[in-house]
Amino acid sequence: MLISKKVQEMQPSGIRAFFDLVLGMKDVISLGVGEPDFVTPWAIREAGISSLEQGLTSYTSNKGLYKLRLSVSRYLKNRFGVEYCPDEEILITVGVSEAMDLCLRTIINTNDKILIPSPCYVSYGPLTALAGGLPVYIDTQKDGFKLTPKNLEKHIDNKVKGIIFNYPCNPTGVSYSRKELSEINKILSKHKIICLSDEIYGDLTYDFEHVAFPSLTGAKERTVYFNGFSKSYAMTGWRVGYVCGPKDIIAGMTKIHQYTIMCVSITSQMAACEALHSGKKSVDEMKREYRRRREFIIDGLNDIGLTCHKPQGAFYAFPSIKKTGLNSLDFAQKLLQEEKVAVVPGTAFGDDFKDYIRISYASSMDNLKEALVRINNFISKRKR
Ligand code: PLP
């Protein structure tokens, strides 16, 4: 057989599959792909351009430029009080995407279980399976999409090696207080479970300060912390992120990274240095705008009858479409055909979420206003 069993069994991303449809259509308002509608702030772009002008076109150290690792280390110390050694505990990667793949391949032995609270980001399950592990989804629906200590305990047995914990969460926007995180940490600690903490939206938390998982008492030695530049600095196309964790895990990940990737593009790394150096003001401005849009879209969705909890971070709304009687795939397909608004079916984030859709509010206020009118038309037509 030409294609391996593992790859044959893998489903293509429900987001991408849907958006191939959108590409061929005109005048669509796309609230689909999870990508900032801002361009990378100018100072960061300029740092990339300047690095090219200086002729910086070589490979870097496999782990990434030392000065970027040092900047990451300082940022995490200043922001969360967590100390990571730039030499041994930090690796610069091609986004969180690469880092997650490396980490799963580094820690998983065949048939180890990895817990994944769901709905969840599309890559976690397939990457776990590709690394030989067994994804175990924890449905969080009945608890307002929050992982509770009780629900977590229920899924733990001696085969569980790790958990992929993402907050603020894509697709629900749910986040956690220090107290809630501490309770989860206690359980993980008791069962010696590694926490793969995907905090890529950590800078986009609206109602309270984001708490980094490794900053919790005793958590750092069992936590792998993932972050990157894609979302908060509007740098998706630069493909740069970082991962911090215990030195043995980082060393294992670096081995795979050096054979597969070698290093992240030096231009992107130079731009990322500038992001950490001067980008905070731009991040705060973009965050203010997302927050304004959040108020608008959540109120608007609830007003037209699509019940939606208020997301605490990221830039997604995850409303229930149950009242319409349509399942999420039908809803998304018909909405696209009839009203030219693209949203993602909830089932892209887990089989159990056919009563939901994901709407990204990383789109202009004008787009959001028009999209709400169109969604309202779509629902009203069905009530008649
Ligand atoms: N993790 C989450 C939760 C995401 O939503 C995304 C992108 O949508 C990623 C990781 C991938 O990010 P990156 O661009 O850093 O690879």
| Ligand 1 close to Cβ of residue 314 (< 6 A) | no
- DSSP assignment of 180-208 equals HHHHHHHHHHHTTPEEEEE-TTTT-B-SS
Separation between Cα atoms, residue 66 and residue 206, nearest integer Å: 32
CATH 3.90.1150.10 in the chain, residue ranges: 5-40+281-379
pLDDT for the residue 384 = 60
pLDDT at residue 154 tops 70:
yes
Per-residue pLDDT for 26 more than 90?
A: no
Tell me: pLDDT of 306 over 90: yes
| Cβ of 89 less than 6 Å from ligand 1 | no
Judge whether 89 and 247 are in contact, CB under 8 Å. yes
Q: How many CB atoms lie within 10 A of CB 307?
A: 11
CATH class of 56-278: alpha beta
Give the range among 18-22, 75-79, 339-343 with minimum mean pLDDT: 18-22
pLDDT number for residue 183? 98
The domain 5-40+281-379 is classified under which CATH number: 1.10.10.10, 3.90.1150.10, 3.50.50.60, 3.90.1200.10? Answer: 3.90.1150.10
Distance from Cα 98 to the centre of ligand 1, integer Å:
10
pLDDT at residue 17, rounded to an integer: 67
What gap in Å lies between CA 344 and CA 260, rounded to an integer?
31
Give the integer Cα–Cα distance in Å for 234 and 248. Answer: 31
Q: Is the CB of 173 under 6 A from ligand 1?
A: no
| Residue pLDDT, tens place only, 281-293 | 999 999 999 999 9
User: Residue 93: CB within 6 Å of ligand 1?
Assistant: no
Number of CB atoms found within 10 A of residue 327's CB: 15
* CA gap 320, 335 in Å, rounded: 15
> CA 111 to CA 159: how far, in whole Å?
8
Instruction: Report the pLDDT value the prediction gives residue 25, as an integer from 0 to 100.
Output: 84
pLDDT of residue 33: 83
The pLDDT score that the predictor gives to residue 97 is 98
Alpha-carbon torsion angle 305, 28, 33, 12, nearest 10? 100
| Mean pLDDT to the nearest integer, 130-147 | 97
pLDDT of amino acid 297: 97
CA of residue 349 to ligand 1 center, whole Å: 13
Mean pLDDT over each residue of the chain, to the nearest integer: 96
Residue 88 banded pLDDT, cuts 50, 70, 90:
very high
pLDDT score, position 1: 85
Q: What is the pLDDT of residue 3?
A: 94
Counting from 1 in the atom list of ligand 1, the atom nearest the Cα of 166 is 3
Comma-separated ranges of CATH 3.40.640.10 domains in the chain? 56-278
